[in-house]
Amino acid sequence: MAKVYEALRKAEEERKRRTGDASPSVQPLDVPPEPAAPKAPSVTASKRSLADRLRSRGGGRDSSAEVNKRRISVLQPDSYVAEQFRALRGRIDALASQRPVRSLCVSSPLAGEGKTTASINLAAVTAMSVGRRVLLVDCDMRRPKVHQALGLQPEAGLAEVLTQQVPLEQAVIRVEGMNLDVLAVRGKPANPSELLGSPAMHALVEDVTSRYDRVIFDTPAALGVPDTKAVAELCDGVVVVVRADYTSQQDVEAALDILDRRPRSLRL
């Protein structure tokens, strides 16, 4: 998410200019001000197998900086970064004036490119709209991160709802101080692809889109597992997140090739 870091740097410079570098009343996020810019993939790297690229994107435990970055629109709603997500919300609303866009699938070609950050922040700024009910659903049952970023401790989640262990109302959590509900991940099932492609998931999407003005599904990376394709087929639109100067063109094209084989697909 090089653009996010760059936006944070610009926002901090603007704050210092206005305040004369006085200490702010709100503590800044624990995010490095200017990390080293990632190198663009070389020709050799772009020819590596998909399996190699998937393995190279594996990650360990997230730092506090990563967690804070994912919820910057919640912690700093007036920040430059939050405004960029508002601009994305505006583009989606413009599309919604032409056709229904009640449900959005958010994904990326590979892991580590910012799709969960985009999902959380887009949901947050959308929930700031007056009178709009928003639901964020974590569909990444392999590596869930939404609950960690928002400080939630779900007692039940998506898998439990799809397997009819608990009703939807019991699994949904309201984010404190916001008009935002979250259906997180509690248990990690052995068959996430099958659950996301099941009739129960289809029924869930129909149910939540009838209750909420907008539902945002944070899905796994599109390449490597079929989970995202199953969810995308049920949504009104798809947001594909790529990492500036890092995600290779071949990965972007491969992800779009998978997700755009739908008559209702929207490119945002």
List, for residues 127-161, the tens digit of each pLDDT value: 988 889 999 999 999 999 999 889 899 999 999 99
Model confidence pLDDT, tens digit, residues 48-102: 555 455 444 554 556 665 665 676 776 677 787 888 889 999 999 999 888 889 9
Where along the chain do its domains lie?
86-259
Radius of gyration of the chain (CA): 18
Amino acid at 111: A
Query: What integer pLDDT is reported at residue 231 of this predicted model?
Result: 94
Highest mean pLDDT among 17-26, 62-71, 228-237: 228-237
Q: Is the pLDDT of residue 116 over 50?
A: yes
Sole residue written with tokens 């970023």:
149
260 token code pair: 């755009």
Backbone angles phi, psi at 164, to 5 degrees: 60, 30
Q: Are 58 and 92 in contact (CB under 8 A)?
A: no
Question: Would you say domain 86-259 falls under CATH 3.30.2320.80?
Answer: no
Query: What integer pLDDT is reported at residue 62 of this predicted model?
Result: 61
Backbone angles phi, psi at 216, to 5 degrees: -115, 125
- The mean pLDDT value for 198-225 works out to 95
166 token code pair: 């608990």
211 token code pair: 């209750």
Coil, strand or helix: which one is 113?
coil
Distance CA 230, CA 219 (A): 10
Q: Is the pLDDT of residue 35 over 90?
A: no
CB neighbours of residue 3 within 10 Å:
13
Considering the chain, what is the average pLDDT of its residues?
79
Query: What integer pLDDT is reported at residue 157 of this predicted model?
Result: 96
* pTM given for the model: 0.72
Strands laid side by side in the 214-218 sheet: 173-174, 180-183, 134-138, 214-218, 103-107, 237-240
